[in-house]
A and B are shown apart, each in its own frame.
Chain A
Amino acid sequence: MSIQNAARGARVQLVDLSKQYGSGPPAVDHIDLDIQPGEFLTLLGPSGSGKTTTLNMVVGFTEPTSGRIELNGKDISRTPAHKRNFGMVFQNYALFPHLTVAQNVAFPLRERKVPAAEITKLVGEALELVDLGGMGERRPHELSGGQQQRVALARAVVFSPNLLLLDEPLSALDRKLRQSLQREIKRLHQELGLTFVFVTHDQDEAMTLSDRIAIFDQGRIVAVGTPRELYHRPTTRFVARFLGESNVFGGRYRSADVYEWHDRKWTVPEPGDGSEQQSLIVRPERMRIASDETSVPAGSNVAPAAVTDVSFYGTYFRIELAFGDDSVGCAVLPVGTPASFDPGTRVIAHWRPEDQVLVSE
């Protein structure tokens, strides 16, 4: 048995799952989620939105108030944590301080009464997998934060779990380490073919890593989809705001092809949900800027704006905009854009109608 080929991605379904503490609003409010075999699913949301509670219910630390958790079609809601065979990587590593690295990784194998020779082999394999070969005799406190988190990863996959849960595993690390560990986690996912459920409040992390993202807000899942779908076709203002930046225009959807914003009338190729109260969203990299309305390509939607600030980021410029109605936004322009705009300049912001999205509140 080796780690790679023994691991099989499992299918996990959350059915009408709820958790209520005391008499307050439910921490998790009737959610449904179908986690596909082998996929990398991220639970994303602000703190207190219920994602960690959901994770704790899946791993078995918290008992649901109602609803079911199914593993490959079998109800495991009442199975204790130590019998679920799910691996979990915790925030701040949570390594056993009294055990060496190798003993930490061997822990789940010893619980499963794996023969000693097999344990040695699997532990070595797992440590190689996370690039920590030869570190087995160290103590956790002798390792750097990044190394500790990799030990935690090795420990969570060494016993070929059905599912790997990761609870904000990178939040304690600095930016550079975080990026290198993100790549590591992505590689592990591809090599092991395991189902990963990842919890984070960092949208960039969610976008880079995930096959699909489930966005949590106040105990509910408000959107599920691939990072591209959610970024380009958000359905609500919350999703648009939470995932990436947006220029948000609070006008009215009037008829089949007109969106009214103050005295402007914009072309609308898609009606959104068709209701009147919808916001119009334009992503910063889709926003273009012209010095006057004559140089705007025909068919574009336009909004007058004032430049309030310009920042240079090496590969791009970021231009902060103030629109007529006190709303603010921004545009991201590649370096090499011919015109330069100084703060205070009055400009025309414009975009193609197909680059905008109507979202409900």
Chain B
Amino acid sequence: MAVSTVAPEAPPTGRPGAAPAGRVRKSSGWLYLAPALLALVVLFVVPLASLVVDSFTEPETGLGNYASLFTDGYTVKVLGRTLLIALIVSVAGVLMAYPYAYAMTLVGPTMRAVLVTIVLVPFWTSMLARNFAWLVLLQDGGLVQNILTPFGLGDVRLLGTPLAVGISMTQVLLPFLVLPLYSSMSQIDGRLVAAGQSLGAPRARAFRRIYLPLSTPGVVAGMSLVFVLSLGFYVTPALLGSTRSAMIAQVINVRAKELLDFGGAGAMGIFLLVVTLVVLGLSRRLAGQNVAVAAAGGQPTRAGTTGGQGSSVRPWLRIHTTIVAVILVAPTLVIFPMSFSAATTFQFPPDEWSLRWYENLFTSPDWTAAILNTIQVGIYVAVIATVLGTMAAFGLARLRPRWRGAVNGFLLSPMIVPHILVALVVFSAFLRLGLNGTLIGIILAHTAMALPFVVIAVTARLQGMDVRLPAVAASLGASPVSAFRRVTLPLVLPGILSGAVLAFVSSLDEVVIALFLQAPGAITLPVQMFNSITVQIDPTISAASSLMVVLVSVPILLAQLAGARRSKKGTR
């Protein structure tokens, strides 16, 4: 009896470990979920609750903080401006994204792959790199101004205005519109419009009366997501706007970090959260689907088999799609030449070339420390979030359906809470615990933010898996441990890996929380980049931006290559 420690013998009275669909022991799900739920409660729910309390009690008990949201002239102005910019960005975004997504359903598979890659380029370009690129393009004497000069608009100031903020935000958020739109459009049977035409509707009217209503869920999902994401934007307005045109996130930052007014900042953050929840709730009701999930899992699922037979890409659509594609990739294209500039300004295109900024990036102690910090944080986050998230996804699958929805929603909640509020919550809590200004603080906060990515990726794999397979393995003689090792794990592994990559990348690119928690010993690369624009003008940021693109895209590419090799060759 001493031999078999590997495959534990089920006691004769025990139930068979692996069971077919619906016969899984439901209670064991909570065990798998416990670590992730505990982490979210400790890192997120408790601090949030205490901030809510603060917002009603600091500096004095009452509704004063909330009242001043709507009575204090400055705050009202900032709130109004924030809502307006968010609205403009989401409307402008839809106008750009809708035809682009529609074109994606019409073109052939190769062209579609190109268009998908172009949409994903902004995801691969770090947040700060993109904002830096827009700063370069929109600055006085920059490329955009030069292009506008022949039209007599040469002396229009862009940088420091809400217009610059809006342009950059729209580009940054476009993927969040294109992907849900495309996924909703690719499910529309293209023959329906043809059917409408055969029933007597002219092409344009058939499109308006059939295609448009059918694609509405995607529009609603994408627009509301972009709207709520816009509300909490911090980096873009801070870099491209000015204090005179501040958005609410900047005010929250000042209140919390400089004035330590957690009551006032908390009230603003809670208000932001309430607006977010209301908008997402409404859109979910309107679109009849889970927006956050749809947009987050928004890889185009399958090539639209239902694309418009017989409809071709009209010239105007071709032009529009090209323009949007250029806007999507332009910032990324600016970054690389910039990094080889010899100038000490952000001049583009550069007159002279050199490697001095790369040299500085890898020799200056500030920059190298930031790089090492970032990679260290990213690896810790990837490991912890992957372990917790994978266990949680397995737990979810074992839960009774009536619990599953609620628990899943809770696990994904860090995704819909505005980052500025997360930053505020974590900042105020860690300040009390003395975790501020430590890498541990940043790691813990990033782990909570990264958890949803792992849960989504692993859950998607688990759902794509034939639930009977562990039972099949049992019928072929596999013990529960063996069935897990030889069947379940290999099938779910791609999800775990892509979850880990996403967690790593999300931590790598995260600025707002890292900005709040920064201290001399705990500065990540994005924070160093942010400071290099706002505190001193240091062109090393262009080299750092290029490095970030490489740091983000290499893991993703490797994961995809591994995935492709896996599906082509055997797994053993």
Give the residue name and chain of the B residue nearest to A63 (CB): B15
Asked if A61 and B476 sit within 8 Å, CB to CB, the answer is no
Asked if B571 and A61 sit within 8 Å, CB to CB, the answer is no
- 1/0 contact trace for A86-101 toward B, CB 8 Å? 1110100010111110
Q: Which residues of chain A in 65-90 are interfacial with respect to chain B, using CB atoms and an 8 Å cutoff?
A: 78-83, 85-88, 90
CA distance A97 to B443 in the complex (A): 37
Cβ contacts under 8 Å, B17 to chain A: 80, 82
Asked if A56 is at the interface of the complex by the 8 Å CB criterion, the answer is yes
Asked if B19 is at the interface of the complex by the 8 Å CB criterion, the answer is yes
How many A-B residue pairs lie within 8 Å, measured between CB atoms? 93
Asked if B476 and A111 sit within 8 Å, CB to CB, the answer is yes
User: Which of B16, B466, B490, B572 touches A60 (beta carbons < 8 Å)?
Assistant: B16
Asked if B477 and A111 sit within 8 Å, CB to CB, the answer is yes
Asked if B473 is at the interface of the complex by the 8 Å CB criterion, the answer is yes
Cβ contacts under 8 Å, A181 to chain B: none
User: Which of A82, A96, A97, A112 touches B475 (beta carbons < 8 Å)?
Assistant: A82
Asked if A284 is at the interface of the complex by the 8 Å CB criterion, the answer is no
Give the residue name and chain of the B residue nearest to A100 (CB): B570
- Pick the interface stretch among B6-14, B57-65, B92-100, B357-365: B6-14
Asked if B476 and A155 sit within 8 Å, CB to CB, the answer is yes
CA distance A120 to B406 in the complex (A): 49
Give the residue name and chain of the A residue nearest to B18 (CB): A81
Asked if A96 and B487 sit within 8 Å, CB to CB, the answer is yes
CA distance A110 to B17 in the complex (A): 19
Asked if B474 is at the interface of the complex by the 8 Å CB criterion, the answer is yes
Asked if B318 is at the interface of the complex by the 8 Å CB criterion, the answer is no
Cβ contacts under 8 Å, A78 to chain B: 12-14
Main secondary structure of the interface of B (DSSP, over half): loop
Cβ contacts under 8 Å, A59 to chain B: 475
- Tell me the smallest distance from the CB of B311 to a CB of chain A, in Å: 31
Q: Say yes or no: A94-B469 contact (C-beta < 8 A), given A78-B12, A81-B16, A103-B570.
A: yes
Asked if A112 and B23 sit within 8 Å, CB to CB, the answer is no
Asked if B474 and A81 sit within 8 Å, CB to CB, the answer is yes
CA distance A191 to B249 in the complex (A): 76
CA distance A97 to B476 in the complex (A): 16
Asked if B115 is at the interface of the complex by the 8 Å CB criterion, the answer is no
Asked if A259 is at the interface of the complex by the 8 Å CB criterion, the answer is no
Asked if B375 is at the interface of the complex by the 8 Å CB criterion, the answer is no
Give the residue name and chain of the B residue nearest to A86 (CB): B475
Asked if A291 is at the interface of the complex by the 8 Å CB criterion, the answer is no
Cβ contacts under 8 Å, B491 to chain A: 96-98
Q: Which residues of chain B in 459-482 are interfacial with respect to chain A, using CB atoms and an 8 Å cutoff?
A: 466, 468-469, 471-480, 482
Asked if A96 and B469 sit within 8 Å, CB to CB, the answer is yes
Asked if A231 is at the interface of the complex by the 8 Å CB criterion, the answer is no
User: Which of B15, B20, B483, B490 touches A56 (beta carbons < 8 Å)?
Assistant: B20
Q: List 24 A-B contacts (CB under 8 A).
A: A56-B23, A59-B475, A60-B474, A63-B15, A78-B12, A80-B10, A80-B16, A81-B471, A82-B16, A82-B473, A82-B475, A82-B477, A82-B478, A90-B468, A94-B469, A96-B472, A97-B466, A98-B571, A99-B571, A107-B476, A108-B476, A108-B478, A111-B479, A159-B477
Chain B residues in the interface with A (C-beta under 8 A):
10, 12-20, 23, 466, 468-469, 471-480, 482-483, 486-487, 490-491, 570-572
Chain A residues in the interface with B (C-beta under 8 A):
56, 59-63, 78-83, 85-88, 90, 94, 96-100, 103, 107-108, 110-112, 155-156, 159
7 extra interface residue pairs, beta carbon distance < 8 Å, beyond A61-B471, A107-B478: A82-B475, A87-B476, A96-B491, A98-B490, A99-B570, A107-B473, A155-B476
